[in-house]
Amino acid sequence: MSAWSARRLHFVGLGGAGMSGLAIVARALGATVTGSDRAQSPYLVRVREAGIEPVIGHDAANVPEGDDVEIVVSTAISEENPERAEGRRRGLTELHRGQLLGQVSAEKRTIAVAGAHGKTTTTSMIAHALLGAGMDPSYLIGGALRTTGTNAAWGTGEWLVVEADESDRSFLNLHPEVAIVTNFELDHHTTYASTVELEQTFRTFLSQAGTAVLPPSLHDFASGPVVEFAPDPRIALAVPGEHNARNAAAALAACRLAGADEDAVIAALATFEGAGRRFERVGTTTSGALIVDDYAHHPTEVAATIAAARTLSPRRVVAVFQPHLFSRTQLLGRRFGEALATADVAVVLDVYPARERAEDFPGVTGRLIAQAATDAGGGRHVLWLPGFDDAEAALRGLLRDGDVCLVMGAGDVDALGRRLAAT
């Protein structure tokens, strides 16, 4: 009997991309899994499909009886959460999701994908390619793999592919056989005081890996064996953008190290349709504009997504952006504006606060980014529309046949995209 079958795991915040995936895999390994979240989410649908019934709303009573229950939390769950507090009151073991990911990773040979940008797409490409090569991998991804419609699975193959998150240093719980770093840039300013501190953390992550897969610019980050990657002309992708060409090259290098047939991997990558909320085409408006949803929440990602949209030869690129976190908006507002100014029309919504409070950041709203986009835009059309209702009404009047409308952000802006695409 597996050691997992004796475990009882209760996930607080079950509806998140990372937490739901871990719950699905833990149940596949034999654990008894329960959990809750404050609201419904698309990931809870997949959790239910895996045989886990979530509770909506947080309450101490949600924590199962018994002294062997382990409480699983993410960085987004506050110390004051009633279920977390109940676990402390009863002396239950508490696990950060990164610790549980490390335990799951120890079960199989692991490919871990880290980096400031492109983690979800590259992880998805590897899982898709290994599936195409007949290797039936396990995977844990921060977005749905469109090939299978889920963000996590426990396959019969010997490899596990995981997205390795540096935002809270949780990737330091991993000791992968293959570690990819797609790129390097300071993004999570509340975790890292400086670029130097971030670099040292990435070096530590790579020191725990067998082989590092890196772009040439990051070769000296690793102390052990390195495989470099660069765009490969043999890979013909259906997803646009130079950044995706680099992601695919990293995926190919990792699949080679996993022993996959190279021709099969290249053929599979040609059929890759993307990951959920990564340049995801959600439909068209009644006027004929294409709506594309993307998780871009950093200036570099916003600029790359707009550049990718340009490759479709649209009439106009209309960029709708929902800032994520007051702290990031405050620190990177000017750079966000510069990135958005590369679109033909920019629409800026108000900040999605996530775990932050508006009162702690007086004067910080999405208007800071709208002003920066106006300053950088050279007369381009910029709209500051804080709420979804006003934004939807304005966009319905603005969008025309041949336009590509990018709906970008790490919050709930995808709901606006679906509203625009609905007939």
Residue of 288, 241, 265 whose CA lies nearest to 137: 265
d(CA 70, CA 325): 30
d(CA 279, CA 216): 26
Kindly list the strands in the beta sheet with 280-284, ordered across the sheet, starting from the edge strand earlier in the chain. Answer: 280-284, 290-294, 404-408, 317-321, 345-348, 381-384
Residue 1, pLDDT > 60, answer: no
The residues annotated as belonging to the active site are 119-120, 163
* Mean predicted lDDT score pLDDT of the chain: 96
Residue 352 has what DSSP assignment?
B
d(CA 247, CA 163): 13
Residue of 110, 237, 118, 243 whose CA lies nearest to 182: 118
Query: Quick one: pLDDT band at residue 423, thresholds 50, 70, 90?
Result: low
Which residue ranges form the domains of the chain, and what is each CATH number? 3-95 (3.40.50.720), 108-269 (3.40.1190.10), 280-421 (3.90.190.20)
Strands (E), 61-105: 69-73, 93-96
| 331-354 residue pLDDT tens | 999 999 999 999 999 999 999 998
d(CA 23, CA 184): 29
Question: Mean pLDDT, to the nearest integer, of 195-219?
Answer: 96
d(CA 207, CA 246): 23
Query: Quick one: pLDDT band at residue 82, thresholds 50, 70, 90?
Result: very high
pTM above 0.75, yes or no: yes
| 269-298 residue pLDDT tens | 999 998 888 899 999 999 999 999 999 999
Question: Mean pLDDT, to the nearest integer, of 179-192?
Answer: 90
| pLDDT score at 221 | 95
Q: Exposure pattern of 308-345 as b/e (b: 16+ CB <10 Å)?
A: bbbeeebebbbbbbbbbbbbbbeebbbbbbbbbbbbbb
Residues 88, 93, 94, 95: what is their CA dihedral angle, to the nearest 10 degrees?
180
d(CA 152, CA 138): 7
Q: Which amino acid is at 269?
A: L
| 128-157 residue pLDDT tens | 999 999 999 999 999 999 999 999 999 999
Q: Which backbone phi and psi does 130 adopt, to 5 degrees?
A: -65, -35
Structure tokens at 364: 């910080």
| pLDDT score at 239 | 94
| 351-407 residue pLDDT tens | 999 889 999 999 999 999 999 999 999 999 999 999 999 999 999 999 999 999 999
d(CA 364, CA 67): 45
User: Where do runs of H (alpha helix) occur along 156-298?
Assistant: 195-207, 242-257, 262-269
Query: Quick one: pLDDT band at residue 2, thresholds 50, 70, 90?
Result: confident
| pLDDT score at 275 | 87
d(CA 57, CA 378): 47
